[in-house]
Each structure stands twice: as structure tokens, then as C-alpha cells.
Amino acid sequence: DAMTLASDANSPYQVNLCGLLRGKIAFENNDFETAVFEFGKAMEFFAQEGHHIEANRCRILSALATAASGQFTSTRHILENLSPIIQNPELTHLLMSESRSIEKALNQKSIPEDLSMKFSGLLSQVSIFEQKLPGIRKQIRRQSQVVRLAPPELVFLTLNTFHKKIHRNYVISNLSP
């Protein structure tokens, strides 16, 4: 069990990552109350320790889980706090990685219209970013530079004097055996 290994390693980071994953599993199994609990606990740890990416992932998932469980006031509060984070283009990958979960939350029949519109807005941000991906990939490929280095070559020749060849140049030592 991953949680046991993380606990045995005395790593709070790993324990809370396991909690995040347990929350995702609970969310996928429609156990939204457990998901809310696990995401909240992990989010608190990650925020306190300065792990911003993980904390924001927990916030997004927590908003989805609270919406799916019918805790709409909590969902609105979380989304208000997430608003500046979601607008940051550097964190669009978080939305992309959780887009399947956003779609699942949207499929819940009881979600109010205002929340449904906010989640739809998140999905539209994801689709806009996905459309930009081929151009971004081309740009990265053009900018990437490969520096090829030949493996170092070192040759020792010893006939009364020491000769060393380093990169096609002989270095002769005055030392004799």
C-alpha cells in the first residue's frame, strides 16, 4: 500500500500526495464526501509547505468535488479564491490535466447555472490552450538546441617517455620510467 510506504518513509509530502490520489480515486468512484475531505487535508498541507502547484491542483479538485457533492457555497468560495490562479497562463496545465474531472462535475444534474457556467469557462480555457499547443510545440522545437559533444578520447603511449593524447593533441611528459 502506497500510504503505508509513505508513512514508513516519514515523508509528509508523500503522505499528502497519497491523500490527493485517494481523493481522486474517491471522486472517480462518486464518493464526493471522501474526495472533499482528502483534497482539503492535502491542500492545507501543500499550502503551508509552499508547494503551490500541488495546492492549486487540490483547490481545483476540491471545487469540483464540493460541486458534485452539492456543497455549492463552498464551491463558490473556492472558485473565488482560484480566480486569479486560473487566469495565470503558466498554470493552464493544471486545468488541462483535470479537464476530465471538470467534465464529470459538469455532468452532475444538480449543479446551479452559475457554477455550471464557471466550469464551462474553465473547459473553454482548456480547449483554447489545446488549440495553441501545436504552435507552442513548433516554437519549442525551433528554439531547442542540441550541443553534440564527442566522447572524450584519452590515449596513453609509453615507450621510454610518457605520451598522452587528449583530443587529437599529444601531451608529452618529461618523466621517464
pLDDT greater than 70 at residue 107: yes
pLDDT greater than 90 at residue 42: yes
pLDDT band at 101 (very low <50, low <70, confident <90, very high): confident
pLDDT of residue 152: 64
Q: What is the mean pLDDT of residues 51-59?
A: 87
Has residue 37 got a pLDDT over 90?
Answer: yes
Strand order in the sheet with 161-166: 154-159, 161-166, 169-172
- Model confidence at 157, pLDDT cuts 50, 70, 90, reads low
Candidates 149, 160, 155, 150; CA nearest to 171 is 155
pLDDT of residue 45: 94
Looking at residues 142-168, what average pLDDT do you find? Answer: 63
Mean pLDDT of 67-88: 84
Residue 160 has pLDDT above 60, yes or no: no
Q: How confident is the model at residue 177 (pLDDT cuts 50, 70, 90)?
A: very low
Determine contact, residues 12/45, Cβ cutoff 8 Å.
Answer: yes
* Pair 176, 161: CB distance under 8 Å: yes
Model pTM? Answer: 0.69
CA-to-CA distance for 65 and 26, rounded, in angstroms? 9
Report how far apart, in Å, the C-alpha atoms of 33 and of each of 59, 72, 176 are: 15, 13, 81
> What's the pLDDT at 176?
47
- Which has the higher per-residue pLDDT, 39 or 118? 39
